[in-house]
């Protein structure tokens, strides 16, 4: 004690508390190891041998390095440079180095074109779909140019001369960024330029014109409202020719080495998909070449649309899966009120429904990829199945992704709403897949259109569903309801048909290929749920959570 009248003070503690009860970073995890649904789907499709070959790509996708590249590519979005310092028109887009790194990895892995190689083994569409799904979990935006390049090849084959000239570059596994003569580049990328402000999904309302020239080329004039990845090397565009709406190939650089008359007016300020540049462009007398026949532009480009719709399903499944990984990882390491989150009944019920919805999306995506393999081998039945199931799957899976990701975000509480968690980026990305390549009404109505144009597609669908008949009365009831909708399809009920069709196909696949715990949970929560939000069924499955949590659960 001080004797001079002054009080003695105890040492001041300036700290607050030790940080505890926070999960470790989800870095350097293996997204294939915690995804038995993907492994089961590959095995069911006769591709069990592909699982091991996918592991290196999966581990890279889950690495801290790749996840950081994904963050940086979105934190530093592309910038348009319309002119150089001297006033010359350049129409170039500058990307962050992490964008180029991600693109290089995707292209070198063949995710943009591997099935189109003459040496491609059987089942390559399925293997590529699995790889695209795994790699997209690292970052979604760069999947757009990868997907469009993949989808451009079958469309380009409507013109054998153009395919012969450009396809080797499109199939190359070298990423070679820059505006240069195609013959001087180690690899090429393709894009699509269809949408116009006066047409939107109604592409036949497009006003872009293409005037035939004496040398067989066309002079293209028009304003395209959305063209993603405008720095790609060539574009497939729709324009009005004397023979009607036609598809043309428009390269950035012409055969004589000069730049084509393609003007980038502005980059779209989008809700999400920030790493990827989507531009409003003008063709001011650009030179293009006809793909397919005049007046049959939709027919020429429909293969591209189908393949990009496939990737919309896969991309939505990937976004749901990585959101589930973040949520289940958090719940496995976080406690509240003396109990670990994933052991509480209600959180367990929420995560269970997120898990089973993710597994159903994966199973469906792989089945569609296998049907694509079969179709390219000339199997008419697989093509028929693809024609009716793909637009319905694109409608439903992409429509569900925002809700699933929002629930996954909420599993982290306030932490999930903060940018550092990565969940807000996934949430902003999710609606894109539903809008791209035909919004909900368009794809639901395309399901009806497939029924009218190919009645045999409905028969093939029912044959597929019959493979699981008699295994569960809940499933059989759903199939009977679907049969009634198929017998009397109405535009006003197109969404109901697309949803019911997708759910029954998913249920059938899970009944056939997944453990009983998975299929039973799906039937209880998706076909007979009390409500539409996860957790309302009250079904919580520890087995399902063990399947999907990165690193497992203690």
DSSP of 149-161: HHHHHHHHTTSHH
Q: Each residue of 459-476: pLDDT tens digit? A: 999 999 999 999 999 999
Percentage of the residues of the chain whose pLDDT score is greater than 70:
95
pLDDT of residue 323: 97
Mean pLDDT of 356-375: 96
Mean pLDDT of 389-415: 95
Q: Each residue of 480-507: pLDDT tens digit? A: 999 999 998 888 888 999 999 999 999 9
Backbone conformation region of residue 213, classed left if phi is above 0, alpha if psi is from -120 to 50, else beta: beta
pLDDT of residue 471: 96
pLDDT of residue 530: 45
Are 503 and 554 in contact, with CB atoms under 8 Å apart? no
User: In angstroms, rounded to a whole number, what is the distance separating the alpha carbons of residues 438 and 2?
Assistant: 82
User: In angstroms, rounded to a whole number, what is the distance separating the alpha carbons of residues 205 and 198?
Assistant: 7
Q: 0.85 exceeded by the pTM?
A: yes
Are 90 and 59 in contact, with CB atoms under 8 Å apart? no
Asked whether residue 531 carries a pLDDT value surpassing 60, the answer given is: no
Are 250 and 262 in contact, with CB atoms under 8 Å apart? yes
Are 78 and 91 in contact, with CB atoms under 8 Å apart? no
Mean pLDDT in the chain?
A: 92
| Residue 532 vs residue 357, higher pLDDT | 357
- Token output for 521: 């949970």
Q: Each residue of 199-239: pLDDT tens digit? A: 777 777 788 999 999 999 999 999 999 888 899 999 999 99
Of 180, 105, 190, the closest CA to residue 145 belongs to 190
Asked whether residue 434 carries a pLDDT value surpassing 80, the answer given is: yes
pLDDT of residue 1: 45
Asked whether residue 373 carries a pLDDT value surpassing 60, the answer given is: yes
Cα distances (angstroms) measured from residue 421 to each of 22, 45, 326, 363 = 12, 35, 9, 27
Write phi, then psi, for 349 (nearest 5 degrees): -65, -40
User: In angstroms, rounded to a whole number, what is the distance separating the alpha carbons of residues 274 and 419?
Assistant: 14
DSSP string, 366-431: HHHHHHHHHHHTT-HHHHHHHHHHHHHHHHHHHHHHHHHHHHHHHHTTHHHHSGGGSHHHHHHHHH
Asked whether residue 191 carries a pLDDT value surpassing 70, the answer given is: yes
Of 174, 156, 175, the closest CA to residue 164 belongs to 156
Asked whether residue 114 carries a pLDDT value surpassing 70, the answer given is: yes
Are 534 and 356 in contact, with CB atoms under 8 Å apart? no
Going by DSSP bridges, is the β-strand pair 244-251/234-241 parallel, antiparallel, or unpaired?
antiparallel
User: In angstroms, rounded to a whole number, what is the distance separating the alpha carbons of residues 484 and 318?
Assistant: 33
Mean pLDDT of 91-107: 97
Q: Each residue of 266-287: pLDDT tens digit? A: 999 999 999 999 999 999 999 9
Confidence of residue 535 (pLDDT cuts 50, 70, 90): low
User: In angstroms, rounded to a whole number, what is the distance separating the alpha carbons of residues 75 and 473?
Assistant: 50
Cα distances (angstroms) measured from residue 505 to each of 21, 163, 383, 456, 512 = 41, 36, 16, 17, 11
Asked whether residue 442 carries a pLDDT value surpassing 60, the answer given is: yes
What's the number of CA atoms in the CB half-sphere (13 Å) around residue 352? 28
pLDDT of residue 4: 53
pLDDT of residue 403: 95
Q: Which residues contact 518 (CB under 8 A, 6 or more apart)?
A: 37, 356, 359, 510, 544, 547
User: In angstroms, rounded to a whole number, what is the distance separating the alpha carbons of residues 300 and 449?
Assistant: 18
Asked whether residue 301 carries a pLDDT value surpassing 90, the answer given is: no
Write phi, then psi, for 236 (nearest 5 degrees): -100, 125
Asked whether residue 167 carries a pLDDT value surpassing 50, the answer given is: yes
pLDDT of residue 392: 95
Q: Each residue of 502-522: pLDDT tens digit? A: 999 999 999 999 999 999 999
């Amino acid at each position: 004690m001080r004797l001079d009248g002054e009080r003695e003070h105890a040492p001041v503690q300036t700290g607050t508390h030790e940080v505890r009860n926070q999960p470790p970073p989800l870095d350097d995890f293996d997204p294939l190891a915690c995804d038995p649904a993907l492994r089961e789907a590959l095995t069911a499709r006769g591709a069990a041998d592909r699982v091991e070959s996918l592991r290196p790509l999966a581990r890279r996708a889950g690495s801290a390095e790749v996840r950081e590249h994904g963050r940086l590519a979105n934190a530093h979005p592309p910038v348009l440079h319309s002119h150089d310092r001297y006033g010359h028109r350049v129409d170039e887009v500058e990307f962050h180095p992490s964008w180029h790194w991600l693109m290089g990895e995707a292209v070198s892995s063949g995710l943009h074109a591997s099935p189109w190689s003459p040496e491609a083994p059987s089942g390559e569409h399925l293997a590529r779909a699995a790889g695209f799904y795994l790699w997209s979990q690292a970052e979604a935006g760069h999947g757009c140019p990868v997907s469009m390049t993949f989808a451009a090849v079958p469309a380009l084959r409507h013109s054998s001369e153009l395919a012969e000239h450009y396809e080797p570059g499109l199939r190359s596994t070298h990423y070679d960024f820059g505006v240069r003569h195609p013959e001087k580049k180690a690899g090429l990328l393709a894009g699509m330029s269809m949408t116009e402000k006066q047409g939107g999904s109604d592409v036949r309302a497009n006003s872009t014109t293409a005037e035939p020239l004496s040398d067989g080329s066309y002079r293209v004039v028009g304003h395209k409202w959305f063209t993603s990845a405008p720095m790609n090397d060539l574009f497939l565009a729709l324009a009005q020719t004397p023979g009607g709406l036609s598809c043309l190939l428009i390269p950035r650089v012409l055969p004589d080495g000069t730049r084509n008359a393609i003007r980038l007016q502005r980059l779209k300020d989008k809700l999400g998909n920030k790493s990827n540049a989507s531009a409003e462009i003008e063709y001011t007398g650009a030179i293009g070449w006809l793909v397919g026949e005049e007046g049959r532009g939709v027919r020429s480009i429909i293969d591209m649309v189908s393949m990009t719709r496939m990737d919309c399903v896969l991309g939505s499944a990937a976004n749901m899966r990585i959101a589930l990984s973040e949520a289940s990882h958090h719940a496995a390491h976080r406690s509240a009120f003396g109990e670990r989150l994933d052991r509480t009944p209600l959180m367990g019920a929420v995560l269970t429904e997120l898990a089973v919805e993710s597994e159903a999306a994966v199973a469906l995506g792989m089945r569609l990829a296998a049907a694509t393999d079969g179709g390219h081998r000339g199997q008419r039945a697989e093509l028929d199945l693809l024609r009716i199931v793909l637009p319905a799957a694109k409608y439903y899976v992409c429509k569900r992704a925002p809700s699933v990701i929002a629930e996954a975000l909420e599993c982290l509480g306030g932490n999930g709403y903060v940018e550092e968690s990565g969940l807000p980026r996934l949430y902003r990305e999710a609606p894109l897949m539903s809008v791209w390549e035909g919004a909900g009404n368009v794809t639901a109505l395309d399901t009806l259109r497939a029924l009218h144009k190919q009645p045999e597609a409905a028969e093939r669908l029912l044959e597929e569903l019959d493979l699981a008949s008699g295994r569960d009365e809940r499933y059989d009831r759903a199939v009977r309801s679907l049969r009634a909708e198929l017998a009397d399809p109405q535009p006003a009920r197109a969404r109901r048909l697309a949803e019911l069709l997708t759910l029954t196909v998913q249920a059938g696949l899970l009944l056939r290929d997944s453990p009983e715990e998975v299929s039973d949970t799906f039937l209880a929560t998706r076909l007979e749920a009390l409500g539409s939000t996860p957790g309302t069924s009250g079904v919580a499955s520890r087995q399902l959570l063990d399947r999907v949590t990165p690193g497992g659960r203690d």
